[in-house]
Structures are given as C-alpha cells and as structure tokens.
Structure 1
Amino acid sequence: MPRNKPLVLLSAGHACVDVYQGAVAAMVPFFVAERAYTYAAASGLVLAASLLSSVAQPFFGALTDRRPLPWLLPVSTVLGGLGVALSGVSGSYPLTLLCVALSGLGTAAYHPESARVARVASQGSHRSMGWFSLGGTLGFAAAPLLVAGVVATGGLRLSPLLVLPALVGSVLTLPVLRALRTLGRAPSVSGGKLAGEGRNDWVSFVRLSLAVVCRSVAFVGMSTFVAFHVREQTGGGTAAGTAALFVLYLGGAVGTVVGSGLAHRWDRVTVVSTSYLLTAWAVAGVVFVPGPAVYGFVALTSIGLYVPFSLQVTLAQDYLPTRVGTASGITLGLMVSVGGLASPVIGGIADATSLRTALTPLIVMPALSWLLVRALPEPAVPGPLRGERAEEVRSAERSGL
C-alpha cells in the first residue's frame, strides 16, 4: 500500500466513481424484472452510459493537456452518482436513458484529470499507478453488492440512496485539491503533465488503443450479460447472477495488483500480451463450461482482462509523453466505455438466439488484443529525475503529491 496520502485518497475517490460504471450493468437485471425490458432494451442503458463517456472522455483529456481542471474531481464524482441514483425513479425509458447518460458524462470528466494528478502523485511508478487503478476496480467490484443491497431490498424506487458513495468520494478529493493549490507555478504540474518531454509515438498508441477497444468489448459484454448467463449455466436465481458479477469485478482487483507487480519483473508489453492470450481461453470456459465451475472461469477472465489495466494507462502516457491527458482520456475512455457500443448487438443476438451464441464472439476479442499488442515497442521507463524536472517533483513531494 502506498504511503503517499494524496494517492491513497485518489484511489479511494476512484473507487467511489467507478462504482457507478459497474452499477449500470448491475441494475440491468432489476430493470428487466421490474420493467420487463428485453435484453436489447436493457443493454441500451449500458450503451447510453458508455457512448457519452467514450465520446466525452478524450475531449476532457485534451482539455486537461491545455490547463489543469482539478475542480472536475468533486463535481464529476457527484454527477456520476446522481445519474445512477435518479435512473430508478422514473419508469420512463427515455428518462432512464438520460439519467445513465448523465452518469457516463460524470465518469468521463473524472478520469483524465484524476489520471493526470495520479501520475504526478506516483512520479510515473507502475506500482503506484496500479494502486490508483485498483481503487477503480474495487469500485466496480462493490457495485453489484451495493445495488443488490439497495434495490433488492426495496426495488428501483430506492435508487436515490445510491448517491451516497458519490458524496463520500467528492469529500475525499478536497484534501487533494488543497495539496494541488500549494504546488504554485511548477510548469510540469500546472501544465497538465509531469515533465512532458520526448517524442510522441502515435502509431504504437493507436495500436494499443485498438487492443483496448477489443478488451473493452469483452469486458463490457461480460459485465452486462454474465449474470443472466451464469443463472442459465447453474440453474440458480438472481443471487447466482449477482455472485457471478461480483466475482467478475473482484477478480479485476486481483488482476490490477498482479499486473503492476509483474511489470517490475518483465516489461509491460510482455505482461499485457501474455495476459490477453490466456484470457481468450478463460472466456471460452465462461461460455461453454456448465455448472458451478463457470465461476472459476469468470474469475480467470476478470484477472486476465485486468492485468493490463494500469499498464495500458502508463504505456499510453509514455507513448504520448507530451499529451498525457489525451492519452489517459482516450485509454481510460476506451477501456471502460466503448465496449458498451457492442452491448445492444449482443443483446439483440441473445434475444434472437441464445445467450451462449451471443457471448461466443467475445472469445475472439482478447485474442485480437494479443495480436495488436505483442509486437509493440516497450517505451523507455523514466529514469532518475534531473535538473528542473527533479525540482518540480521535489516541489510536488513537499506539497504532499
């Protein structure tokens, strides 16, 4: 666990935001049960949150490259929670779509700026960035438990209670904002990037981004439909599906920690590509293995998809060292959002055929990620800081960042 207090607070705040990215998928079974939505209609809610987040996140990333926007952290946290909290209040499908889209906008605004601040706090450390990413993954993992605890108790009408993590998360950002204000005029920090030196490798960045898209399709597809699929595979009820979703998200927390640790023994590209290759096998197990054993493959799939999580963020930042906000916004936006674009397609296939048939193409996604990543160059790891850059980081350390 890092001793850096602002990084710990950022990680906790990240959890409070990402709980809402997991909450939309976790609420899908309840929308189906209470409002009789079809698979396609329910997955449209995931699309609404994902589409706006995917489109807006790179925009916010480019914005933070031009100037820091630390006030976005508390504001976007509340916005993300408010959208999900209001989604269960109205029975109107268009209003529900609007609410989850509002939540997607909040998470889109949060991630690029938080990743910029986390990069300053971590001084480029893979392990520290792993802890920051872990916070978000734990938020994902907590989502099905939070939603089940609230909505399963009193129905969708109790969804306003889901705003509580957002309120907590916004308060946690306040000490970080105070620390940022003490940095003064350090050029690298105030300019939105930590010593933005070096040449941008756009070709490698685009290939990495395409791999992230494939990863996102696999993960969002699983998170949207795994609860229904496991209920069919095991013959269980709603609890069996909720447990599967929890395992999927909790495995992500394990994968995030494992990935940042492995990057200190092998280069990031090797760790990421190997993980994707193994994940293709794990996804096949989820789709085809019957009975309780499916839970083990759900866990392996999640671990395999999350080992690359924080490593892809630092790779993207190192491929675009002068566009850290843009790299963070695009990578995080694609990683957690763009897969929602495929969800209605998967839902439509499931309505027309079966869930197993609809989920089978997801096996190919991590394999495609492996093909795209395996030949990428490993960017140079930042070495000892010298001169003005060292002074800027020492200034950040003295301020608590």
Structure 2
Amino acid sequence: MSDNTATLGSTAAPPRESSSASQAQDFVLRTVGAVAFAHLLNDLIQAVLPAVYPMLKTQFSLSFAEIGRIALVYQITASLLQPWIGLYTDKHPKPYLLPMGMVVTLVGIGLLAVADSYPMLLVASSLIGVGSSTFHPEASRVARMASGGRFGTAQSTFQVGGNTGSAIGPLMAAAIVIPNGQRAIGWFMPVAVLAIWVLLRVTGWRLKHAHVHVATAGKQAVSNLSHNQIVRAVVVIAILLFAKFVYIAAFTNYFTFYLIERFKLPVQTSQLYLFAFLAAVAAGTFAGGPVGDRIGRKAVIWISFLGVAPFALLLPHANIFWTAVLAIVVGLVMASAFAALVVYAQEAVPGRVGMVAGLMFGLMFGIGGIGAAGLGHLADTNGIVWVYKLCAYLPLLGIVTAFLPDTRECKR
C-alpha cells in the first residue's frame, strides 16, 4: 500500500501535525480501492452459496424451506456478530481481524466443496457467515479512515466492490460449478487466499496511519439530533432496511427459480439474468454515495424507494424481455439507498463508526436471511410467482422516509 507519511521521520512536532492534517483531508484512493477489491473477493465467495442452491436442491433433494434455512443460517451468523464486533473494536481496535476473518471464510468454502450431508452444508454456510461478520465493520472503518471527509463516496466505493463480487459470483458459479459439480466450489479457495493477502496489506496501511484516525477523531461531525430523534431515525432505518433487503433477498435467492418456473429457462441462462440484476445493484450502489454527498442522504433514500415502486409493481406481470429490463431498473435505483443509509446512521450516531457499520451490515444479512427463509416457506405454500407479486409492494414502505429527521451537523 502507498505510504504518505514521509514527514513522520522528522523530530520536529509541527511537520508531524501538518502531515496528519493533510492526510486527514485526503481521499486515499489506493486504500479505499483495496478494501473495495477485498469486498469484491469476499462477496464473490459468498455469492457462490445462493448461486448453487438449484444444484444443491437437486443433489440433496431439498425443499424450498430447507434452502431457506441454509440462507438463514448463513445470514444470521453473518449478522449477529457484526454489531458486537464493531462496538468492541470501536474501543479496542483489532486490525488483524480483517485477514483472520477471511481465513474462516477460506475454511467455510472448502467445507462447502466436500460437504456430503445437509448438516455439513449448514456448518459450511455458518463459517462463511462468521468470516463475513468480521470483515464488514472493520473494512468499512478503514474506508471511512481513508475517505478524507467524502464519507458517502468512500462508503459507496467500498460497497460497490461487494455488489460487483455478488454479481460476478453467480456468473462464475454458472461457468465453473454447475458444469463440474459440487467439488468445483473448491476452485474458489484461491480467491480467499488472494483476499487474505490484500487484507494483510490493508492492515499494514491502517497500522502505519493510525495517527490519522486519532487526528480526525476530534474533528468528526457531531449530530445535534435529540435522543428521541435518534430513536425515531433508527426505527425508520430498520423499516427501510426491511423493505430493501427482503425484496433484494427475493432476487438473490429465488430469481433463478422464478425464471425457471415462469419462463422455463435453463439454470445457466437464469444465472445470466441474475448477473444482470446484481450488476445493476453494483452500479446503483456506486452512484448512491457521491450523489448523497451532493444532494443529501435523505433525498437519495426518497428516490431509491418511491422511485422504484412503479417498476417493482409491473415486474411480476411482464414478459421475459421486460422482466430483465425491469429487474435492472429495480436493482439500479433501489441499491442507491444503502450507502446513504449507512452514512446517515453514522452522522446520527457519531463516534460509533464500527458499531453502526456492523449494525447496518448485520441488519442487512439478518433481514435478508429471515426474509429468505420466510419467502422459502411462502414459495412452498403458494408458489414462487405468487411470492414475487407479494414482494412487489415492499418498496412502498419507503413512505416512512418522511419521518427521518434531518442530520444537521456541527464540528467539535
């Protein structure tokens, strides 16, 4: 990683302060890019699991409910630990959690490749989830450290790495795993090894630039929201996350099944449609952060929910061509909200960067897991097409954005 601390070797105090101040203001593109790339690798590995659900369903004779429980186990382990890890590391920094967490992911993907029973699938899924729970809060913290004050841009750059990995994962699974079987999942283990190497370099940058974090800590934005306003904001954000990630879970976990049942597409072709949706999610995420830095977080949240509602309502009634078009529009617009929601929450609760990031990513995985399990049961009972008609109404919950207080900031 690049090292911008040349003046730190000086024995005079003023140059050190000047260097810290300068670095605190700079957007360190190489570092933000590194954590975004690591996020790509991390989420690429995680995306392999839902991408191979159709294969696992056939190989292990699983029901939709059992597929939903695999998603639940993975996403709950990926969610429950995150806020606690973030809260703990806010007070006791543990930079090496980043590469250590990826080692756990490496073990999980290896076990998934050789699992010969449903319980082993659940264990492998939980290990991949634990690796994810250690990655997100700490990597998000590093992105914010290197943001130079452009928090939305840094967060969206970081997040778009993950969404890009989520989009590439099913495509690679369709090309590598589906034709070659379960053991081919092990071919993703070198991806985890590469991620470990990148995260070791990121950790080295963080250790060298710890003084930048200290220098900027006293200059962080202070929200002047009251306690009641903060509580109200948290409740509204939870509702918005529920709407967003249950709807997204319908696509990431069941879009291939929907396309196969409704349009009789083969598995590999359906994976291409899933890739198109997830690529649109990545593009929307990238746009949401910089736009939020310019026009405000709340405006982006409004657009991402209510703007997507008409397209979501049309999608279950469209033919295959317009299903693809509408899915891309839905992914593009709705994904723009997440970076805005994360930075909004960090502005509302300053000084708790790790905890807020862990809570937001944790809620993302937890809601997605519960949503996937619930949607699986509904699909078994009513059919997957019915589930998509029901989920089409979720973006309308974006109306609660009206209750979000404005985060007017002051400086310490």
**Contact 1:287/1:356 (<8 A) preserved:** yes
Aligned to 1:312: 341
What is the alpha-carbon distance in structure 1 between the residues aligned to residue 333 and residue 56 of structure 2?
Answer: 29
What is the alpha-carbon distance in structure 2 between the residues aligned to residue 43 and residue 250 of structure 1?
Answer: 23
What is the alpha-carbon distance in structure 2 between the residues aligned to residue 382 and residue 115 of structure 1?
Answer: 23
Aligned to 2:103: 78
**The one of 68, 79, 90 aligned to 1:43:** 68
What is the alpha-carbon distance in structure 2 between the residues aligned to residue 5 and residue 187 of structure 1?
Answer: 17
* Aligned-partner SS, 2:237: helix
1:375 aligns to 2:403 (yes or no): yes
* Aligned-partner SS, 2:406: coil
**Contact 2:243/2:394 (<8 A) preserved:** yes
Amino acid at match of 2:43: D
1:363 aligns to 2:363 (yes or no): no
**The one of 322, 346, 350 aligned to 1:293:** 322
Aligned to 2:156: 130
Aligned to 2:82: 57
Deviation at 1:366, TM superposition (A): 1.9
What is the alpha-carbon distance in structure 2 between the residues aligned to residue 145 and residue 83 of structure 1?
Answer: 20
**The one of 190, 196, 220 aligned to 1:170:** 196
What is the alpha-carbon distance in structure 2 between the residues aligned to residue 293 and residue 238 of structure 1?
Answer: 19
* Aligned-partner SS, 2:404: coil
Greater mean deviation of Cα atoms: 79-88 or 32-41:
79-88
Aligned to 2:184: 158
Aligned to 1:256: 285
Gaps of 5+ in 2: 1-26
CA gap of 1:224–1:247, structure 2 versus 1, over 3 A, is: same
Aligned to 2:24: none
What is the alpha-carbon distance in structure 2 between the residues aligned to residue 12 and residue 245 of structure 1?
Answer: 21
Aligned length: 381
Aligned to 1:332: 361
Trace 1:75-154 onto structure 2 (pairs within 5 A): 75-125=100-150, 126-154=152-180
Amino acid at match of 2:171: L
Aligned to 1:398: none
Cα deviations by residue, 1:216-263 (Å, 9 ceiling, x for unpaired): 111112211101111233322112210121112101111012212322
**Contact 2:28/2:147 (<8 A) preserved:** no
Segments of 4+ moved more than 4 angstroms: 184-187, 196-200
**Contact 2:232/2:404 (<8 A) preserved:** no
**Contact 1:287/1:359 (<8 A) preserved:** yes
**Contact 1:234/1:292 (<8 A) preserved:** no
Greater mean deviation of Cα atoms: 80-89 or 66-75:
80-89
**Contact 2:96/2:200 (<8 A) preserved:** no
Identity of aligned residues (%): 24
What is the alpha-carbon distance in structure 2 between the residues aligned to residue 279 and residue 64 of structure 1?
Answer: 37
Amino acid at match of 1:23: V
Aligned to 2:43: 18
What is the alpha-carbon distance in structure 1 between the residues aligned to residue 103 and residue 125 of structure 2?
Answer: 13
CA gap of 1:77–1:382, structure 2 versus 1, over 3 A, is: farther
**Contact 1:202/1:320 (<8 A) preserved:** no
Give the structure-2-normalised TM-score. Answer: 0.86
Give the structure-1-normalised TM-score. Answer: 0.88
Name the larger-Rg structure: 2
Amino acid at match of 1:171: W
Aligned to 1:33: 58
Deviation at 1:209, TM superposition (A): 2.6
CA gap of 1:236–1:194, structure 2 versus 1, over 3 A, is: farther
CA-atom RMSD in angstroms? 2.2
What is the alpha-carbon distance in structure 1 between the residues aligned to residue 222 and residue 293 of structure 2?
Answer: 23
